Amino acid sequence: MLIANALFESSGLLMVIGGVVAVIMFVLVIFSRQYKRCPSNRVLVKYGRVGGRAASQCIHGGATFVVPMLQSYGYLTLEPMTIDIDLTSALSKKNIRVNVPSTFTCGISTETTIMQNAAERLLHLPTVDIAAQAQDIILGQMRLVIATLTIEQINQDRETFLDLVNTNVNTELNKIGLEVINVNIRDITDESGYIDAIGRRAAAEAINTAKVEVAEQDKLGEIGQATANREKEVQVARQHAESAKGQKEAERDQRVAVSKYEAEGITGEANAKREQEIAIAQQDALAAQGKKQADADRRVKVAEYEASAVEGENKSKAEIAAYEATLAERRAEASRRGEVAAAEAARDVLIAEREQEQARLEKEQIVLQNIEKQKVEIDAEAEAERIRRLAKGEADGVLAKYQAEAEGVQAVLQAKAAGYAKLLDTCGEEKQIAATLLLLEKLPELVDMQVRAIQNLKIDKITVWDSGDGGGDTGDGMTRGSTSTFLRSLMSSLPPMHELAEQAGIELPTVLGSLKDKDNEDTAKSAHEDGPTPNES
């Protein structure tokens, strides 16, 4: 009996020990299967009930225990992804479209916050889908950065351009758990050839600089040679040496002047061609932009660009334009208020019938009327803004026209003043000669005016009743007849050149003849009209 009890107790102890060992083995197996170690090129994401309000726990370069039934896990790879960005027709700051093909190397970040974003947004996603998301974000940010820079800044200051791209792209990629490792801009081109024009201009400037340096070295060589010849010839004859020196200096000045004019010509040609290409590119960009405006917001934007493009023009009509814009805005506001009042009146009628058809009116009529009211308000505001912008642009255009005309008139007056001053300097002490010269310059116009004074007279027939008595003597040795008297009177009605000059205080040259003594002529006329004197009789 004692032996049986001892055997029973021994078997029970063995069973307990065996159970404990089994439990330990089970725990070890479970622990070994659920204790996860994270490789260095991955991020271990444990999710489920991880404590606190966190949705997941990220581990890099360590290990953790995953509680069965309560927790699970996944891995995020840290291997870099190469993303080719074929960016074309990106609009730069000066409205020139550029092509910026580039290659981005991205990967999941190991920074705690960014790594948590990756766990929430990229876990279990294929690499292809992650790369597609990153590509969309990079394209958008690249276009945004290019829109803030000019062609010169993009092409010449690559470091600043890459810094802006890294900053903007990193900020957006960090939101989904990625970071930029490297950016490689392959080549930058534009549709209008503006970048090529910049390269040609730089090459032309380098060539011109080289030509100037060569000319300078030639000048130094010629100076050295002339100096050596001069020192040699001084020993023989000083005058001969001085003559040679003057000749060499004249040749040197000629070569320098020719080189300078050639450089200026090449530079001017390059600048003119560059400005032409820039103008063509700007017009093409504006035309393309105008075709792509499809809604009210884009129409307002086009109006802003047009107003900015004509900014600087005539401001003399700014008040009128502002008044017209205000009037149009008030009309739009009145129209909007009328529409709103009509909608409110309809709404009051519908409210009065609300007890009968409340459900249907709330779903159909009232909602549609509110939408229509908002649409009318938006259209009215957009139209008022467009009219205001167009009026401002027209006013600025008239201002630029008047300013250009004023500058032209001022230039003409300045040129005339300079000419008159030079004419007075040429005349020296006898300033009155200047007025004579100016009158001689206008003499053909005065003669032409005299001819035009009678050229359009339509005289069908002239009848002269002549008594046949000869009419007497005119005082200059000629007999006065009725016909000759008529013709002389007709011609004397025209203002003579000498009288015009005398009224202006100018004495014409003697080659143009001189006036007869007017008093003698008047005396002779009166004598003939009164009849013969006693001596004559």
Residue of 81 and 95 predicted with greater confidence = 81
Q: Token pair 């005309």 is at which residue? A: 405
User: Quick one: which of 139, 44, 127 has its CA closest to 82?
Assistant: 127
Domain ranges of the chain: 2-74, 79-191, 195-291, 296-414, 470-530
CA distance to 316, 320, 399, per residue, from 312 (Å):
11, 17, 8
Given a contact cutoff of 8 angstroms between Cβ atoms, the answer to whether 154 and 161 are in contact is: yes
Please give the share of the chain, as a percent, with pLDDT higher than 90: 7
Residue of 535 and 303 predicted with greater confidence = 303
pLDDT of residue 298: 66
Angle CA(531)–CA(535)–CA(537) in degrees, nearest 5?
Answer: 55
Given a contact cutoff of 8 angstroms between Cβ atoms, the answer to whether 92 and 67 are in contact is: no
User: Quick one: which of 192, 164, 180, 200 has its CA closest to 97?
Assistant: 192
Given a contact cutoff of 8 angstroms between Cβ atoms, the answer to whether 389 and 304 are in contact is: yes
The token pair that represents 56 in the structure block: 């997941």
At 110-125, the pLDDT tens digits run: 888 888 888 888 888 8
Residue type, 161: F
Residues contacting residue 133 through CB under 8 Å, at least 6 positions apart: 176
pLDDT of residue 384: 85
Backbone angles phi, psi at 5, to 5 degrees: -65, -40
At 96-152, the pLDDT tens digits run: 888 889 999 999 988 888 888 888 888 888 989 999 999 999 999 999 998 998 888
The token pair that represents 403 in the structure block: 């300013």
Angle between helix 127-147 and 158-173 (nearest 10):
130
Q: Which helix (H) or strand (E) holds 47?
A: strand 42-48
The token pair that represents 402 in the structure block: 């008047």
Residues contacting residue 234 through CB under 8 Å, at least 6 positions apart: 241
pLDDT of residue 530: 52
Question: Does the pLDDT at position 536 exceed 50?
Answer: no
Backbone angles phi, psi at 76, to 5 degrees: -115, 125
Intra-chain end-to-end CA distance of the chain, in Å: 210
Please provide the DSSP assignment of 332-384 as one string. HHHHHHHHHHHHHHHHHHHHHTHHHHHHHHHHTHHHHHHHHHHHHHHHHHHHH
CA 47, CA 101: separation in Å to the nearest integer? 39
- Between 23-37, 58-72, 186-200, 344-358, the lowest mean confidence (pLDDT) is in 23-37
Question: β-strand 56-59 against 63-65: which pairing, if any?
Answer: unpaired
Domain 79-191 has CATH 3.30.479.30: yes
The token pair that represents 363 in the structure block: 């779903």
At 271-325, the pLDDT tens digits run: 878 777 887 877 777 767 667 666 666 677 766 767 666 665 667 677 777 777 7
Backbone angles phi, psi at 65, to 5 degrees: -100, 130
Given a contact cutoff of 8 angstroms between Cβ atoms, the answer to whether 177 and 121 are in contact is: yes
User: Quick one: which of 21, 74, 16 has its CA closest to 45?
Assistant: 74
At 192-236, the pLDDT tens digits run: 777 777 767 777 777 888 778 787 777 787 787 777 777 777 677
pLDDT of residue 137: 92
State the burial class of residue 417 (Cβ atoms within 10 Å of its Cβ: 0-12, 13-18, 19+): exposed
Q: Global pTM?
A: 0.36
CA 41, CA 115: separation in Å to the nearest integer? 13
Report the DSSP beta bridge partners of residue 401.
none
126-143 burial, b if ≥16 CB within 10 A, otherwise e?
Answer: eeeebbeebbebbbebbe
Residues contacting residue 216 through CB under 8 Å, at least 6 positions apart: none
On the CB side of 466, CA atoms within 13 Å amount to: 15
Q: What is the mean pLDDT of residues 43-47?
A: 87
- Between 3-12, 86-95, 139-148, 415-424, the lowest mean confidence (pLDDT) is in 3-12
Please provide the DSSP assignment of 426-472 as one string. HHTT-THHHHHHHHHHHHHHHHHHHHHHHHT-----------SS---
Across 275-279, 348-352, 487-491, which has the greatest mean pLDDT? 275-279
CA 398, CA 495: separation in Å to the nearest integer? 44
- Between 178-182, 424-428, 506-510, the lowest mean confidence (pLDDT) is in 506-510
Residue type, 115: M
Given a contact cutoff of 8 angstroms between Cβ atoms, the answer to whether 466 and 472 are in contact is: no
CA 161, CA 144: separation in Å to the nearest integer? 12
CA 123, CA 128: separation in Å to the nearest integer? 13
Given a contact cutoff of 8 angstroms between Cβ atoms, the answer to whether 80 and 130 are in contact is: no
Q: What average pLDDT is seen over the chain?
A: 75
Taking residue 153's Cβ as centre, other Cβ atoms within 10 Å add up to 16
Question: Does the pLDDT at position 523 exceed 70?
Answer: no
* Confidence class for position 514, pLDDT limits 50, 70, 90: low
pLDDT of residue 533: 44
CA 43, CA 64: separation in Å to the nearest integer? 12
Residues contacting residue 188 through CB under 8 Å, at least 6 positions apart: 98, 99, 100, 154, 155, 195
